[in-house]
Structure 1
Amino acid sequence: MFDSVLVVCAGNICRSPTAEYVLKSKLQNKGVTVTSAGLTALEGKPADATAQHIAEQHGINMAEHRGQQINSALVQHNSVILVMEQRHLTDLCTRYPQARGKTFLLGKWLNDTEIPDPYRQSLEAFTHVYELIDSACSAWQKYL
């Protein structure tokens, strides 16, 4: 099926790294490479501390993550690109027309649910976003 997945959000410190590591966990031993990037990435920054804390509570370690900016090579070299919001999909496909046809909402299989940005919000907001990401990644599992 697909051999590589790129997960994209805005800053690449909350949602996309969480989805990257959740997908890696769910796709272990399937030969699928999962990475993440941001449309306006905080390059070199670790995942948000609250996002890391919640992921750790679910057995997922994101300590190695460092934010990276999306670029044409990442778009070209990934089979599927998953984004958090419709505006990310529009922006990505405008910047990189080659992304059309392989870019989808992470929440596609959850009635096209968008994943809201929890950055600088409450622990409850981060928990809600983690649960949405986990559900969306589970829904993608059978397609990847």
Structure 2
Amino acid sequence: MSTGEVLFICSGNTCRSPLAAVIAEARLGASGVCCVSAGLDAVAGCPATAESCEQAAERGLDLYRHRSRAVDFLTLDDVDWVIGMTVDHLRRFRNERPDYGGRVGLLGLPGVDLAAGGDPFAGEQVDDPYRRGTAAAYEAMAEQVERLVAAWASVFLGGGAS
């Protein structure tokens, strides 16, 4: 995939999906891939959590200007991939947009288009650190997201998505 848009989704769009999007944008932006994020339960306009901002900053990235936004189920025409953090995010997305014609993936299952089949439970879930509220939880989430985004970036740059 040399161009296109990837939408990372989570619950509130203040921790996981914005971090995934900014990491992916840093890896893929030069190739023409646009990476954005949204939340299924997001209240528009909330900043990213301080802990996620710190994790981004440790990686040389900026989340301080991020403001949450809700998934807009009506304007997904330009989105090539929707990538959820958990199986529940994917289930909820599919319930809202069963007619979505793009690819749907789980961050923890790099390269697999679950819209075409496959077992989403075969992949890793990216747990929400917000509920645990510890620096260690955010660090573990950020390391997991960074590792999984790197695997997805290899897929996108190598054209290996199935």
TM over 0.5: yes
Q: Secondary structure in 1 aligned to 2:46?
A: coil
Instruction: Tell me which residue corresponds to 1:139.
Output: 151
**Taking structure 2 as the reference length, what is the TM-score of the superposition?**
0.83
Q: Secondary structure in 2 aligned to 1:98?
A: coil
Deviates more, 1:96-105 or 1:30-39: 96-105
Distance 2:124 2:100 in 1: 20
How many residues are matched?
144
Distance 2:42 2:78 in 1: 19
Equivalences for 1:49-128 in 2 at 5 Å?
49-99=50-100, 102-109=103-110, 112-120=123-131, 121-128=133-140
Q: What is the RMSD computed on CA atoms of the aligned residues?
A: 1.6
Q: Which runs of 5+ in 1 are unaligned?
A: none
Structure number with bigger Rg:
2
Give the letter aligned to residue 19 of structure 1.
A
Over the matched positions of the two proteins, sequence identity in percent amounts to 30
Does 1:33 find its partner at 2:34? yes
Distance 1:82 1:74 in 2: 16
CA contact (8 A) 2:45 2:68 kept: yes
**Taking structure 1 as the reference length, what is the TM-score of the superposition?**
0.93
Distance 2:85 2:101 in 1: 16
Instruction: Return closer, same or farther for 1:20/1:143 CA change in 2, 3 Å cut-off.
Output: same
Structure 1 residues 36-95: Cα deviation after superposition (integer angstroms, max 9, x where no partner):
000000210111111101110111111221100101244332000110000110000010
CA contact (8 A) 2:29 2:35 kept: no
CA contact (8 A) 2:87 2:106 kept: yes
**Bigger relative CO (Cα 8 Å, ≥ 6 apart):** 1
Give the letter aligned to residue 63 of structure 1.
Y
Q: Which runs of 5+ in 2 are unaligned?
A: 112-121, 157-162
